[in-house]
Amino acid sequence: MMFYYENKVNFYLFKKRLKKLNKMNYKLLGELLPYIAEFEESSEGEGVKDFLNWIQHKELGVKPEVKIPENYKSVPLQGGVDAQICQLIALLHKYVRFYFKKGLKDTLLQTTEDFGFLATLVTMGDLRKNELIQKNTSEFTSGMEVIRRLERNELIASFLDDEDKRARKVRITEKGKTEFVNALPILKKIGSVATGRLSDLEKARLLELLNALNSFHNPIFHEEKDTELEKIVRDYAKK
């Protein structure tokens, strides 16, 4: 009996919803369809988020509004959108290094790479030197400089690889672990100022975009070391 009444109620609700759908005005959908068709032809993206960004810029003429402070001392951004993005990424890297230098001045760590190498060993355990360098997306020469500096400060120790006597592995020392743990609160402070006054929503969106760029560039960095720039542009740049 209960099953009978449940079905009767569900059928009633279904008829009510269907009746409501029949009365709906699809004018808005009709207005959106041309935009959707144009968006798909534009190759500006695929998902709903891409479409919302596209229509916002097209229909509303929305442009990023950035207030330049009066004490801004750098050269104004030059070129088109792609060029300006590259300049901004380079500038932000300099700002973060600036904060790291201040934050780490009373520690045995000198650079972001020093901390990154220790963090990798804490997370992944003992690694061969070339693996440690690769995991940190570093050039071999500069990566070896970081390893030598960490060894001099007794934050890591190298030893022969049991599987390949020609290779050497490195492990983090107790002193290195202490230095790493002591640096964590400093990193939190740096992060709080490096993200400026962005809202939580803006931070989430920025993180999403930066992750997309990182996922795009990481394989190119590791797999195309001997490839000319022109070929990389042909193979990977957006057509």
Give the tens place of pLDDT for each residue, 160-217. Answer: 988 887 888 999 999 999 999 999 999 999 999 999 998 888 898 899 999 999 999 9
The pLDDT, as a whole number, for residue 31 is 76
Q: What's the average model confidence in pLDDT over 11-15?
A: 57
pLDDT of the residue at 103: 95
What pLDDT, in 10s, does the model give residues 133-155?
999 999 999 999 999 999 999 99
Strand, coil or helix: 108: coil
Per the CB < 8 A criterion, the answer to whether 206 and 198 are in contact is yes
Mean pLDDT to the nearest integer, 98-120: 95
Average pLDDT value over all residues in the chain: 84
| DSSP string for residues in 116-131 | HHHHHHHHH-SEEHHH
User: Bridge-partner residues for 159, per DSSP?
Assistant: 169
DSSP conformational letter for 75 = P
C-alpha dihedral (24, 26, 32, 38), degrees to nearest 10: 140
Beta bridge partner(s), residue 158: 170
How does residue 3 score in pLDDT terms, banded at 50, 70 and 90?
Answer: very low
* Residue 227 confidence (pLDDT): 96
Per mean pLDDT, which range of 27-31, 104-108, 184-188, 216-220 is the poorest? 27-31
Asked if residue 115 lies in contact with residue 104, where contact means CB atoms within 8 angstroms, the answer is yes
Q: Report, as an integer, the average pLDDT of 31-46.
A: 76
Higher pLDDT, 10 or 56: 56
> Which SS3 state, helix, strand or coil, does residue 30 take?
helix
- What average pLDDT does this structure show over 105-122? 95
Q: Answer whether residue 218 shows pLDDT above 90.
A: yes
pLDDT at position 5, please?
44
Rg (CA), the chain: 27
**Is 170 strand, coil or helix?**
strand
Domain ranges of the chain: 13-59, 105-194, 195-239
Does the pLDDT at position 2 exceed 50?
A: no
Burial class from Cβ neighbours inside 10 Å (0-12, 13-18, 19+) for residue 100 reads buried
pLDDT band for 226, please (50, 70, 90 cuts): very high
Architecture, CATH, for domain 105-194: Orthogonal Bundle (1.10)
C-alpha 127/C-alpha 121 separation (Å) is 7
Give residue 4's pLDDT: 42
**Tokens describing residue 129:** 């030197």
Helices marked H in 63-199 — which ranges? Answer: 81-103, 112-124, 129-135, 140-152, 174-194
